[in-house]
């Protein structure tokens, strides 16, 4: 990700693809992530309006890894080793890790730590 910042209302950070599953259907958000790549991918939703929801949902469930990133309100980044997500206001934002709420934060740093987790398949 180039230096600088981008404003958004939601950020999804991935170290694998797909992001999750809806039943047996893969949900793809930020393409280019893999457990063994040594990098992270993220997608930033720049705006959330009711009329965007149907197309975002359809893109996420399409099965194509780049579909979500083609939406005009989503900006994607790949091959990142580290970055920071922070609020522009005095309010905190909720953070989830693997679907679990871990707290409210003003900022969160994300960084790759190669070979720090054993994956059993």
Q: What is the pTM of this model?
A: 0.84
**For the segment 38-55, what is each residue's pLDDT rounded down to a tens digit?**
899 999 999 989 999 999
Query: Do 110 and 84 contact (CB within 8 A), yes or no?
Result: yes
Q: The tokens 């194509």 sit on which residue?
A: 64
Residue 93 three-state SS: strand
pLDDT, residue 64, reads 84
Decide: 82 and 74 in contact? Cβ < 8 Å.
no
DSSP 47-69: ---GGGHHHHHHHHTS--TTTGG
Question: What is the average pLDDT value for the chain, to the nearest integer?
Answer: 89
Domain boundaries, the chain: 10-111
> Which band of pLDDT confidence, cut at 50, 70 and 90, is reported for residue 1?
very low
- CATH (one of 3.40.50.2300, 2.40.30.10, 3.90.1640.30, 2.60.200.40) for 10-111: 2.60.200.40
């Amino acid at each position: 990700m180039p230096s600088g910042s981008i404003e958004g209302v939601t950020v999804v950070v991935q170290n694998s693809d797909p992001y999750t599953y809806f039943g047996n259907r893969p949900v793809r958000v930020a393409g280019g992530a893999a457990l063994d790549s040594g990098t992270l991918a993220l997608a930033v939703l720049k705006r959330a309006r009711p009329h965007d929801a149907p197309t975002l949902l359809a893109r996420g469930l399409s099965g194509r890894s780049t579909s979500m990133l083609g939406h005009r309100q989503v900006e994607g980044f790949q091959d990142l080793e580290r970055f920071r997500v922070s609020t522009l206001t005095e309010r905190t934002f909720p953070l989830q890790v693997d679907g679990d709420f871990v707290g409210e934060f003003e900022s969160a740093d994300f960084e790759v730590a190669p070979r720090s987790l054993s994956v059993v398949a």
